[in-house]
Amino acid sequence: MSLLEVANLTKSFSTRRDFLGRRTGWTHAVKDVSFTLDAGECLAVVGESGAGKSTVGRMVLRLIEPDTGTVVFDGEDVRAAKPARLRAMRRGMQMIFQDPHSSLDPRMTVEDAVIEPLIVHTDLDRATRRARAQELLDKVGIGSRYLGRYPAELSGGQLQRVAIARALTLEPKMIVCDEPVAALDVSVRAQVLNLLRDLQEELGLAYLFVCHDLALIEVISDRVMVMRSGEVVETGTVDQIYTAPSQDYTRQLLDAIPVPVPRAARPAHPA
Amino acid sequence: MATTDTLVRPDRAPVDPTTPLLRVRDLTVQFPAGRKEWVTAVDGVSFDVAAGESVALVGESGSGKTVSSLAVMGLTGDTGGRIARGSVEFDGRDLTKLPHKQWQGLRGTGMGMIFQQPIRSLNPAYTVGDQIAESVRKHLGLDRKAAMARAVEMLELVQIPRAADRVREYPHAFSGGMCQRVMIAMVMACNPRLLIADEPTTALDVTVQETILDLLRDLQAQTGISLLFVTHDLGVVAELCERVVVMYAGEVIEDGRADEVFFTPQHPYTSGLLASIPRPGISTDRRLTAIPGRIPAAGEWPAGCHFHDRCTHAVAGLCDVTHPSLAATAAGRAARCLRVADLQLEGVSAS
């Protein structure tokens, strides 16, 4: 039995309403998506903007309420959970967002941001909480001199590390990563991806890794799910997707990745 | 394409092949940092763009690439900064010595710029046709009807289907990629000789990015426009540019032909950037090569070489003391590294 089992997930948003407020237009953001994620595994959800990949990530955590479908996390139905139970379940499943500048409270110090989940979810005393926060920040490579700093004083890469530490505080089994490196510079992006990979190996985390960049996924994921216009196009291991994609769309996505070899110097393609 | 002949302006003076179209020398841009204090964001930047050439200005955030390109456009004052030193020569004239009005007049007919967020660059309250027509009426003095015809012609040039209909639509009806085409149409409408593109494809999907790069390449072949392509993405550079100027912490650290810089980089930072580009099937141990640390912010540049504290080749007592100058290493190549003669740096492989 898998850690996460998602079946027939569907979500539509209303685009138009008539004068009585009744829905008259719909857009199907996600159509009949099913997949599983094992403990300690990383599944990348890849697609272009509008493919529905972020909506899937959020529906798994019930940050967006699905229309139909089931989400079973660790043997428990997420959609049936009452609010108090859902909050408790979210200890096991956390999320990292694309832009740490907007996902972290600008008026909260780095240390407080990491401590906050412990205040909400545990009854640890103050000293233990602080020790735990320091240990986590240390793990993600944020030195103790940053503890009292505010988000505005840190760079994007550092802030994303803080966001990762915050997601780790409650020892989750799964983290939904929504484009966690898309806003970062090239050299820093590699640092953060390597960190996520190391943490996964060390802590046995499962990632649902939402990403638009097919070139990045081999570093982090085991399996790939390609989405387009709300539907799953194909699912496979990274090797399968890279070397023998079964769908033209996946092929197009791969071909569109810029190759860092100047055009003039490339070997001529056999026509 | 039928539009090509109208793109050649008869009154244009023939370009002198020996002097580059754009010649930036010792450009230094500062921004206010408290009372009567200035922090230097771009320090002594020099580079050339020849007529018809495509040059990439590459760097990560905080490197000064955007500040440099805005300075070329004469927009430094509008962003709150000042050009403290140096010159921007366009077509043989030093623009920094010109009255502001004349520099402003060159924007449009001399050079044009497109930005990362095309939707934010367009006015949502006017049709795209009106916005393109506005620029041609202002810069070329066409009447309303001729300007609208020019707008349609330009939308055709940037390969927007059903141009005659779409010219009457508002920006919200266009996708991100289509908006960027509209921006390119608006800039091209006045026949500029230099197009500055600041991260024009960063906000777009990869498949859309590919089509925009193809479009820019076509336009260059058709019109012979020079291109200054500002980006952090070396993959995109390889697709489009003949020459690369790499910036780090406010300075140019390497300059050379694209193939030379990619295959045999002469600065450790360039080598590190090339290594951190993800490519399908390249990483064997499933790790990306990262450059440790982060780019220092303007005003926090370390003594000696700006890169020494992140550099694996740095030598104590040399790199942290002496500030290297940008030195020519071969014909048409320059690097800012004290150890350039000792290092054999890794680039990309052609396969």
Is residue B126 a part of any domain in this protein? yes
List chain A domain ranges: 99-171
Same domain flag for B223 and B341: yes
Report the distance separating Cα A76 and Cα B135, nearest Å: 61
Same domain flag for B234 and B348: yes
Same domain flag for B205 and B343: yes
User: Stretch A85-89: mean pLDDT, rounded?
Assistant: 92
The answer to whether the beta carbons of residues B325 and B45 sit under 8 Å apart is no
Residue A210 vs residues A42, A52, B16, B264: alpha-carbon distances, Å? 10, 10, 52, 35
Residue B100 belongs to what domain range?
21-110+192-292+325-351
CA distance A122 to chain B (A): 34
Is residue B26 a part of any domain in this protein? yes
CA distance B113 to chain A (A): 23
Last residue of a domain, one of B155, B190, B225: B190
pLDDT score recorded for residue A216: 87
Same domain flag for B138 and B282: no
Same domain flag for B42 and B165: no
Same domain flag for B219 and B346: yes
Preferred mutation among A186, A214, A252 to probe B, highest tally of B CBs within 10 A: A186
- Work out the angle between the directed axes of helices A186-203 and B268-275 (0-180°, nearest 10): 50
More confident of the two residues A54 and B11 = A54
Pick from B237, B197, B183: nearest CA to B58: B237
Is residue B271 a part of any domain in this protein? yes
The number of angstroms, rounded, from the C-alpha of B350 to the middle of its chain's C-alpha atoms is: 25
With CB atoms and an 8 Å threshold, state whether B277 touches A260.
yes
Q: For residue A162, which residues of chain B lie inside 8 Å, CB to CB? A: none
Is residue B158 a part of any domain in this protein? yes
Report the distance separating Cα A167 and Cα B233, nearest Å: 29
Same domain flag for B196 and B186: no
SS3 B316: coil
Task: Give the strand pairing for A223-228 and A42-46.
Answer: parallel
Same domain flag for B78 and B28: yes
Report the distance separating Cα A199 and Cα A202, nearest Å: 5
How long is chain A?
Answer: 271
Is residue B197 a part of any domain in this protein? yes
Last residue of a domain, one of B190, B217, B249: B190
Task: Name the residue of chain A whose CA is nearest to B292's CA.
Answer: A191
CA distance B117 to chain A (A): 14
User: ipTM for the complex?
Assistant: 0.80
CA distance B269 to chain A (A): 10
pLDDT score recorded for residue B317: 92
Last residue of a domain, one of B172, B190, B208: B190
Is residue B130 a part of any domain in this protein? yes
Q: For residue A190, which residues of chain B lie inside 8 Å, CB to CB? A: 276, 278, 288-291
Q: Give this prediction's pTM.
A: 0.86
Is residue B217 a part of any domain in this protein? yes
How long is chain B?
Answer: 351
Residue in B206, B237, B241 nearest the CB of A257: B206
Q: How many domains does chain B have?
A: 2
Task: Name the residue of chain B whose CA is nearest to A216's CA.
Answer: B278
Is residue B317 a part of any domain in this protein? no
**Rg (Cα) of chain B, in Å, rounded?**
21
pLDDT in single tens digits along all 351 residues of chain B: 444 444 444 344 444 556 899 999 999 999 998 888 999 999 999 999 999 999 999 998 889 999 999 999 999 988 899 999 999 999 989 999 999 889 988 888 899 999 988 888 899 999 999 999 998 998 888 999 999 999 999 999 999 999 999 999 999 999 989 999 999 999 999 999 999 999 998 888 888 999 999 999 999 999 999 999 999 989 899 999 999 999 999 999 999 999 999 999 999 999 999 988 887 776 656 677 888 888 888 888 999 999 999 999 999 999 999 999 999 998 889 999 999 999 999 888 876
